[in-house]
Amino acid sequence: MLDATTAEIKPREALRINPAKTCQPIGALYAALGINGCMPHSHGSQGCCSYHRSHLTRHFKEPVVATSSSFTEGASVFGGLANMTQALNNIFTIYNPRVVAVHTTCLSEVIGDDIPMMIRKATEEGIIPKGKVVIHANTPSFVGSHVTGFANMTTAMVRYLSENTGRRHAQLNVIPGFIDPSDMRELKRMIAAMGVKTILFPDTSGVLDLPQDGRYRMFPHGGTTVEELKSAGDSLATLALGHFTSHPAATELDEKCNVPCAFLELPIGLSQTDRLVHALRNYGGVDVPATIAEERGRLLDAMSDMHQYFHGKRVAVVGDPDHVISLVQFLTELDMKPAYIITGSPGQHFEQRVSEILRDQAPDAVVKQNSDLFALHQWIKNNPVDLIIGNTYCKHIARVENIPFMRFGFPQLDRMGHRYFPCVGYMGGLRLLEKMSDVLLDHKDRECPDELFELVQ
């Protein structure tokens, strides 16, 4: 195993080595797949679109569709209007989607293409058929991260589609953030169990977790419909799960359609799921059913049963900011000690919120936004941890330093369970407990001397 990371730490201001993020269009493409009958469209070179599709395909183990404006040297000089016009004509003629969701790339952003003007022109020329919709989000890769791109595209759904007709419907909006289809499916199951009518957007369940029935569907049955996105402007309130991915769209919906919003964090673990259940109860005017209370009790029982294996363990956590914030909260509930907490995405809220969570339990923890895995590895070399939690790219650190590693978040390129088994809610909390205890105890079994190798740990 090649280990080129040095233990000596030197200040780096303008350089990121193995950054803990990827680019905006990937997040925008994923959000667009959460609209029913939507074709994501990359306004830039074909190579960019190919990378974004392949990265998502490797994570979800499902074919991810998207089209491209296929820039060449001519478009780079004269602009991409002709490419966009031809692309929209081809898309509606050949694939006939209900929605085209355009996201930009570095090249189209640098040359300054005016996407709203292109959409208006295509509409006036009849290239966009009646009843079809084209939306767009600006997603330059040199700003933000895939988290920013997801937030921008989700906000574009509100900007282009949501309407306030003056009538209030007995429903809530839930914006779930950048989570797997399994998590979105679990959220819908919990909400349905509570008897609350909601519009979840975007929703990739039924899109990127399809059963194998021998048929290929370019536009699967899943995803939030255009009618639901329009109706979101008449909802009683919006529950936005995640500061970075969901709060911008909720704010836009409030400003555009006067739909009040509750800003929550991802329901990972006990207390964050409690907050979601409490919000659903208050805004939906319902009681918490026995089935949900029983799920909470099972999670609490497992936390108590496994406490001895988690107590005091030092943990390094890497991932998207919304995921990491909620996971760190859960780790403190298990009396674990988060030691290094990083995200590759920018935003001061991350450091402030994590430091607030750890103020009493782990005040010396290193918390860094816009950081990278090279820095994390250096910290671990100087002061090791008992567990690493993060995406697939952390496996190199775990192997070199012989540290238990639990895969969590995006991307997971070498495992498959994440798109079927949730991490959110009480049941998701149980799965996280199982995964953590498995890697910790497997490592103990593997490393302990023969005289300490016990049948029961």
Would you please indicate which residues are annotated as catalytic (active-site) residues? 106, 110
Whole-number Å distance between alpha carbons of 164 and 284: 20
Whole-number Å distance between alpha carbons of 223 and 33: 7
Whole-number Å distance between alpha carbons of 234 and 174: 13
Amino acid of residue 30: Y
